[in-house]
Chains A and B, each alone.
Chain A
């Protein structure tokens, strides 16, 4: 056996040496090696190594990167030209691909904007990592409830006694309407009261005033930019000026007076969860509250704190809880630790997304919607990509000859891949351009359908996201077809013997099935959501909600309500008018009671009302009577609803006296009606009579005469309260507001479902056109042999029918499960019946079938001569 030169040296030589020199060098080196080997193998090896190393010089090293500028540009030009020609030649596929991908990408981008905006809510505060809200839960019975409000003793105690706390900011909501006036103008505004460190802790944009002491004086007020601009007709209110809260209104009696403007803030450019128009100081609040509230179990203030850096929150939670319980149960130190009220922290910026507590445990909230839409967006994008891939690979068959000829002439796989990548990338790029522009145009409209203003901070992170989505989509959609095409073998192509492998068929069919499933699931869930929304709108709620006008009774009207009511009833379009406390479809009071000895506690919701509430609202009485002017001492009477009667286990209660908020005689039983939304079960509730404590007027107006009646009512209102604006609501709007989230979600959801279905249809259209194209010869032969149009259509659609049936089998259970879990959130919901799935199934089968059948029909009409002549 001949001596072998060292392999490693040879490999090295092969790696670097120019191809045209390689053989000669190698030969010479080996010849020398063999010669020297005779005397000493070691020397020979050494010399061989050395020879190789000495050959490692620039002149002999091969070019690892063949940079030849003129050539690349020509190739690029050539590719571009071919791409454009192909777009022109196959306009149909081009348009389908372009539209599908653009629409998919557009929806994905819009969802991305929305999700991004939602995820960054409240995250802009500089103190974000240290900023927490103090939460409280209470566990007296089986259920733990979570409260956002705490005692107003807490802030000072925290500040003084807990070392880890840096700032404490109490924050109090004003639970009623407040009017602000500047000169002549009176404006209703949404206010809060905040602690003095508010602007130090929260990075809200303070455009005028001093961050450190804007809220220090008892009579300081900080206004929003919008409010400052609208308070005066001809100028903007500025720092140093005086605004006042007039005394006539309900709330004014407490805070009436003059206030010095110490700051102007602007929330419009910041991504905030909570908007308000003005801030007063909590000092003011504390000075005005009734001393009875000065207790550790009261709940008047939200409390925000910042922790010093490096504080461990879990440990701090325990400390905080101990601290609180020592105060709260100071007179009862042996209280069971599991029982009663506990305190814990929630990071401020997470409150917006995570605000639902189930039995004291955080269980999501808005984040669920974000995940839902994120998933929908991803689905739509995937469907669009799949479409693109399917169509491009399918279309590639049409260009087999081109690829084959090129390969035979000597195009390498690389060159072909580059050509097709160029093509896919150009298409994906075009789509991206369209999608990005459309998204930038459309995203402000998102605010219309989402419940909140979309505020987008255009930072690098966001752009990276956008570019990422576009590039990844482009790569996924573009590169697969390109590699697929360039892999094909020229001889087979030119012989016309190309057969798609089984795995390819499975993949392509699988992708189509997947598309169908996504579309079907979306269709099913959209139908369910729509039905449920319709159901909430049409369900007989037990009261009439059309043409019912509600507004606040305040100012002069409060004292003269009887006069106002009798005058309002005289207006021609008014059918009836009554009074109730708070929201007429959401009783504002709740409380437990033991109306009968030895019976379990019943949780009631109740409202104080005046005369004619039941009559105006059209609530039916099953037994007894309503409150009436014909009887005296109505304050000691009570009207129950059916559920209360059941919950208390009463039999024939009318006329009897029970202990419900004092001894009360039952005078009537109302038929159950839905208070709150249909998410909630009907609760035991009752009405008591206290017209002087009541602040909302409800007026039933004759249908068709709304406008004139409204003007008359407004005129009457003005004669009572000349300075105050007349702000009214219609009950049906009020009712719809209960379903705002559902409705907005539903409409958003519907859009994306339509998009997904649309894209799937486009895909199907493209694919079926392609299948028909591929089988044109077969069809021609069949026709020549006497096959009819219908036979051919059936032939071409039977494959599809199978696909659709498989998709149905997969998506119906999934759709059922998803719908079921959504409907579980409602106490009253539509039934999921077979017809619903049948509708979805039939719809998609019809749609798919008609698309394919149309193509098949066209194909079956082709003259066989046309498609057979080139053989």
Chain B
């Protein structure tokens, strides 16, 4: 089970990877997340999440071509695997199903 588990931050990163399919790489993921979450993150956190998920088989990666940017270092692009997609789907289902069970309570002032 633990191999299949997905932490909250990982889920967010995975969502970004999936949204930018095949175009996602470290800095880009960092920026999008920072934008959406409206808080500062450290690049190493993104790397930790990516490497973990890669080990679990949720994402896969490949190097892009050499450019003059980034001091000549290649970008490593991430894409979601079918297993990753399945995990995301299950997570989404789980959340929606629970969400829908919320009774219609009126939140009074």
Q: Which A residues lie at the B interface, using CB under 8 A?
A: 2, 5, 21, 23-32, 34, 50-51, 54-55, 57, 59-60
Assuming the contacts A5-B71, A27-B71, asked whether A32 and B44 have C-beta atoms less than 8 A apart, the reply is no
Residue among B51, B70, B76 having the largest count of chain A Cβ atoms under 10 Å: B70
Would A26 and B27 count as touching, CB distance under 8 A? no
Q: How far is the CA of A26 from the CA of B73 in the complex (A)?
A: 7
B70 & A51 in contact (Cβ 8 Å cutoff): no
Could you tell me the distance in whole angstroms from the C-beta of B9 to the nearest C-beta in chain A? 14
Q: State which residues 31-65 of B face A: CB under 8 Å.
A: 42-45, 47-48, 51, 63
- CB pair A55 B71 closer than 8 Å: no
Contact across chains for A54 and B44 when beta carbons are under 8 A apart:
yes
| Contact across chains for B71 and A57 when beta carbons are under 8 A apart | no
- B90 vs chain A, min Cβ distance (A): 26
Residues of chain B within 8 A of A2, CB atoms compared: 71
Decide if B51 touches A57 in the complex (CB within 8 Å).
Answer: no
B86 at the interface (CB under 8 A from A): no
Q: Do A27 and B44 touch across chains, with their CB atoms under 8 A apart? A: no
Contact A29 B43 (CB under 8 A): yes
Supply 12 further A-B pairs (C-beta < 8 A) apart from A23-B76, A24-B75. A23-B74, A24-B26, A27-B70, A28-B43, A28-B47, A29-B43, A32-B27, A32-B43, A34-B69, A51-B44, A55-B44, A59-B51
Contact across chains for B69 and A31 when beta carbons are under 8 A apart: yes
User: 15 A-B contacts, Cβ less than 8 Å apart?
Assistant: A23-B63, A23-B76, A24-B47, A24-B73, A24-B74, A24-B75, A25-B43, A25-B47, A28-B26, A28-B47, A50-B42, A54-B44, A55-B44, A55-B47, A59-B48
Contacting residues, chain B, for A28 (C-beta < 8 A)? 25-27, 30, 43, 47, 70
Min Cβ gap B56→A in Å is: 13
- Residues of A near B70 (CB, < 8 A) are 27-28, 30-31, 34
A residues within 8 A CB of B43? 25, 28-29, 32, 51, 54
Q: Do residues B47 and A31 form an inter-chain contact, with CB atoms below 8 A?
A: no
- List residues of chain B with CB within 8 A of the CB of A5: 71
Given contacts A32-B27, A50-B42, A51-B42, contact A27 B47 (CB under 8 A): no
Measured between alpha carbons, how far is A26 from B26 in the docked complex, in Å?
11
Nearest CB on A from B21, distance (A): 18
Distance between B60 CB and nearest chain A CB, rounded to angstroms: 14
Say yes or no: A27 contacts B73, CB within 8 Å: yes
Q: How many residues of B contact A (CB 8 A)?
A: 19
What's the least CB distance linking A45 to chain B, in Å?
Answer: 15
| Residues in chain A near residue B75, CB distance under 8 A | 24, 27
CB–CB B42/A27 < 8 A = no
Closest to B50 in A: A24
Main secondary structure of the interface of B (DSSP, over half): helix
Docked Cα-Cα span, A54 to B1, in Å, equals 29
Contact of A30 (CB < 8 Å), options: B30, B51, B73: B73
How far apart are A51's CB and chain B's nearest CB, in angstroms?
5
Most A CB within 10 A of own CB, among B25, B42, B71: B71
Name the 4 nearest CB pairs between A and B, nearest first. A27-B73, A54-B44, A28-B26, A24-B76
Residues in A whose Cβ lies below 8 Å from that of B26: 24-25, 27-28
Shortest CB distance A190–B (Å): 86
Specify which chain B residues have a CB less than 8 angstroms from the CB of A54 in the assembled complex.
Answer: 42-45
Chain B hits for A32, CB < 8 A: 27, 30, 43
Contacts of B30 in A (CB 8 A): 28, 32
Question: In angstroms, how far is the closest chain A Cβ from the Cβ of B65?
Answer: 12
> Chain A at the B interface: mostly helix, strand, loop or mixed?
helix
Question: With A32-B27, A51-B44, A54-B44 given, is the CB distance from A27 to B51 under 8 Å?
Answer: no
| CB of B61, distance to nearest CB on chain A (Å) | 8
Residues of A within 8 A of B51 (CB): 21, 59-60
Separation of A2 and B43 alpha carbons in the complex (Å): 22
Q: Which residues from chain B contact A57 at a C-beta distance below 8 Å?
A: 44, 48
CA of A32 to CA of B44, assembled, Å = 12
When distances are taken between beta carbons in the complex, the residues of chain B under 8 Å from A26 are 71, 73
User: Closest CB of chain A to B77's CB: distance in Å?
Assistant: 10
Q: With A and B bound together, what is the CA distance between A580 and B55 in angstroms?
A: 106
Most buried by A among B30, B44, B51, B69: B44
Q: Please name all residues of chain A whose beta carbon is closer than 8 Å to the beta carbon of B42 when the two chains form the complex.
A: 50-51, 54
Q: A803 CA to B109 CA in the complex, in Å?
A: 110
For B44, give the chain A residue with the smallest CB separation. Answer: A54
Least CB distance from A769 to B in Å reads 56
**Once the chains are docked, how many angstroms separate the CA of A59 from the CA of B69?**
27
Asked if residues B74 and A27 are in contact (CB atoms below 8 Å), the reply is: yes
Q: Which residues of chain B come closer than 8 Å to A29, judged between CB atoms?
A: 43
User: Which chain B residues lie closer than 8 Å to A55 at the CB level?
Assistant: 44, 47
Q: What residue of chain B has the Cβ atom nearest to residue A4's Cβ?
A: B71
- Of chain A, the residue at the smallest CB distance from B61 is A24
Which chain B residues border A24 with CB–CB below 8 Å?
26, 47, 73-76
| Chain A min CB distance to B47 (Å) | 6
Q: In whole angstroms, how far apart are the Cα atoms of A285 and B48 in the complex?
A: 95
Residues of chain B within 8 A of A59, CB atoms compared: 48, 51
**Cβ distance A443 to chain B, nearest Cβ, rounded Å:** 63
Looking at the assembled complex, report how far the CB atom of B29 sits from the nearest CB atom of chain A, in whole angstroms: 9
Looking at the assembled complex, report how far the CB atom of B5 sits from the nearest CB atom of chain A, in whole angstroms.
Answer: 17
* Closest B residue by C-beta to A29: B43
CB atoms of B73 and A23 under 8 A apart: yes
In the complex, which residues of chain A have a beta carbon less than 8 angstroms from the beta carbon of B71? Answer: 2, 5, 26-27, 30
CB distance from A768 to the nearest CB of B (A): 58
Q: How far, in angstroms, from A2 to B68 measured CA to CA in the complex?
A: 11
Q: How far is the CB of A14 from chain B (nearest CB, A)?
A: 12
Give the complex CA separation of A801 and B70 in angstroms. 68
Q: A21 to chain B: which residues have CB within 8 Å?
A: 47, 51
Complex formed: what's the CA distance from A28 to B63 in Å?
13
Please report the C-alpha to C-alpha distance between residue A59 and residue B48 in the assembled complex, in whole angstroms: 8
Kindly state the separation between the CA atoms of A24 and B28 in the bound complex, as whole angstroms: 13
If the complex has contacts A5-B71, A23-B76, A54-B42, are A31 and B48 also in contact, measured as CB distance less than 8 A?
Answer: no
CA distance in complex: A804, B92 (Å): 91
Chain B: minimal CB distance from A149 (Å): 88
User: What is the CB-to-nearest-CB distance from B43 to chain A, in angstroms, rounded to a whole number?
Assistant: 5
With the chains together, A25 CA to B75 CA distance in Å?
9
Q: Which residues of A contact B27 (CB under 8 A)?
A: 28, 31-32
CB distance from A476 to the nearest CB of B (A): 47
Q: Which residues of chain B are near A27, meaning CB under 8 Å?
A: 26, 70-71, 73-76
A25 to B73, CA, bound (A): 9
Note all chain A residues with C-beta closer than 8 A to B47: 21, 24-25, 28, 55, 60
Query: Within the assembled complex, what's the spacing in Å between the Cα atoms of A32 and B75?
Result: 13
By beta carbon, the residue of chain B nearest A59 is B51
A34 to B71, CA, bound (A): 9
Instruction: Give chain A nearest CB distance to B28 CB in angstroms.
Output: 9
Of all chain B residues, the one with the shortest Cβ separation from A33 is B71
User: Nearest Cβ distance between residue A651 and chain B, in whole angstroms?
Assistant: 112
A154 vs B73: C-alpha distance in the bound complex, in angstroms?
93
- Closest chain B CB from A472 CB (angstroms): 48
Give Cα distance in the complex from A2 to B73, angstroms.
14
B residues less than 8 Å from A60 (CB atoms): 47, 51
The interface residues of chain A lying within 8 Å CB-to-CB of B45 are: 54
Q: Measured between alpha carbons, how far is A23 from B26 in the docked complex, in Å?
A: 12
Q: How far is the CA of A32 from the CA of B71 in the complex (A)?
A: 11
CA distance in complex: A636, B76 (Å): 123
A29 to B42 alpha-carbon distance, docked (Å): 10
Interface string of B66-109 (1 = CB under 8 A from A): 00011101111000000000000000000000000000000000
Q: Which residue of chain A is the closest to B42 with respect to CB atoms?
A: A54
Closest to A10 in B: B71
CA distance A823 to B42 in the complex (A): 87
Expressed in whole angstroms, the Cα–Cα distance for A831 and B30 within the complex equals: 97
Which of A24, A50, A55 neighbours the largest number of chain B CB atoms within 10 Å of its CB?
Answer: A24
Give CA–CA (A51, B42) in the complex, Å.
7
Q: Which residue of B lies closest to A48 (CB)?
A: B43
Among A5, A27, A32, A34: residue with most chain B CB under 10 A = A27
Given the complex of chains A and B, what is the CA–CA distance between A45 and B102 in angstroms?
A: 49
Q: Which residues of B are found within 8 Å of A23, using beta-carbon distances?
A: 63, 73-74, 76
In the complex, A32 Cα to B70 Cα: how many Å? 8
